[in-house]
Amino acid sequence: METILFLAHTEADGTLSKAALETLSAALALIRELSGASVAVGLVAADDAQAAADSIAGCGAVRFLAVKGDDFATARYATDATAAEVLARAAGATLVLAPATSRWARCLPGVAQRMNGRADTHAAAVAVEAGAPAVTRWYYRQRIEGVSRRAQRPWFILLEPGSCPIQPCPIQPCPSGQGLASTAVEHVPVAIDDRLRRTTFAGWRAPRTDQQTIRPEADLLLVAGAGWTKKQADGQTHPADAERLILGFLKLAQASLGGSKSLVDLSGEGQAVLPFMTHLNQVGQTGSTPRHPKGLATCCHGEEPHVVGWRFINQRRAINLDANCGWARGKADVLYVADAFAVMERLNALLAHEREVVSA
């Protein structure tokens, strides 16, 4: 019989993130299929975690456990690992399901080691196969899908954000009939000494939001290829126009920006081409495989961005001058054989007009 611990840290405002709610939904789906299984909630929070627990009061968890304190306000390996360990032990967990946030991805494999358990990261799904939990994940840069089961317990599973739909928790009204039920949170004591506090949080350093080009929650991924920096019909390159059009589109559409390897490598060499592109933008076999509902590839020919980088994009369109671009033809639902400079200019004008009409 499995005892599942849904493990989550609260956000700065005390709520649970979308990724956490997805993981909770996966845990609840598991107990529906695993006979005799139960789920406990384990929260790590700076405050008392009451609001977060109340927000999922109707989820059917048998226990709501929490560790609280200022030490858990921000990510830190030593304190996060300690919190996860005490929660897993307090719950008697055989399975620990956590969202694959950077915070948990950093420390949970270490916690599994401490507890003589096992950890699987980058899980894309958890289901029941032959009466036992099984994890699905991708191998070889999202080209091979594997399903595995383990006998070793506790088994820590980190579920990739965006891979499981959120199921709304049944709302449990207060006995008074007003609002949600107040959940009885059990606060688990945790000993944090100065040795665990050796790493301290100095502050945030992040790009200004209007400079932020990677937006995991965006509805659209714009993929920019090296064609933006190539000589155009007039025999000249037009990097300034490319920058204006791409950044203008991102701002108007609130899209996220991906880039081909050829394009981000150029920027890395310090050339005066699209300086806002970094290797973090790269999609493909040696880049990322983001999950967005829609994708638009521009001036991009490569196999890796189209085949692997777009792996999880649902609706895909491409703009390429070359009608014979095999990967755009083969992988896009719609290929516009056109000059991306002209198309994006017109698209931005239409989006700006639409915005004016809406705000008028």
Ligand X SMILES: Cc1cc2nc3c(=O)[nH]c(=O)nc-3n(C[C@H](O)[C@H](O)[C@H](O)COP(=O)(O)OP(=O)(O)OC[C@H]3O[C@@H](n4cnc5c(N)ncnc54)[C@H](O)[C@@H]3O)c2cc1C
Residues that bind ligand X (CB under 6 A): 225-227, 230, 232, 260-263, 282, 284-287, 299-305, 319-322, 325, 339-341
> Shortest distance, CB of residue 309 to ligand X, whole angstroms?
6
Q: What is the DSSP string of 206-240?
A: ---TTT----TT-SEEEEE-GGGGS--TTS---HH
Kindly give the pairing relationship between strand 95-99 and strand 155-159: parallel
> Shortest distance, CB of residue 265 to ligand X, whole angstroms?
9
Contact criterion met (CB below 8 Å) for 8 and 61: no
* Terminal Cα-to-Cα distance of the chain (whole angstroms): 60
Find the helix or strand (DSSP H, E) in which 315 lies. Answer: strand 315-320
User: Helix or strand or coil: residue 122?
Assistant: strand
> Shortest distance, CB of residue 297 to ligand X, whole angstroms?
8
Separation CA 155–CA 41 (nearest Å)? 16
> Shortest distance, CB of residue 171 to ligand X, whole angstroms?
44
> Shortest distance, CB of residue 346 to ligand X, whole angstroms?
13
Q: What is the DSSP string of 231-296?
A: --TTS---HHHHHHHHHHHHHHHT-EEEE-HHHHHHHHTT-SS-TT--GGGBBSTTSB----SEEE
CA-nearest of 24, 29, 16, 58 to 41 is 24
Which amino acid appears at position 185 of this protein?
V
> Shortest distance, CB of residue 322 to ligand X, whole angstroms?
4
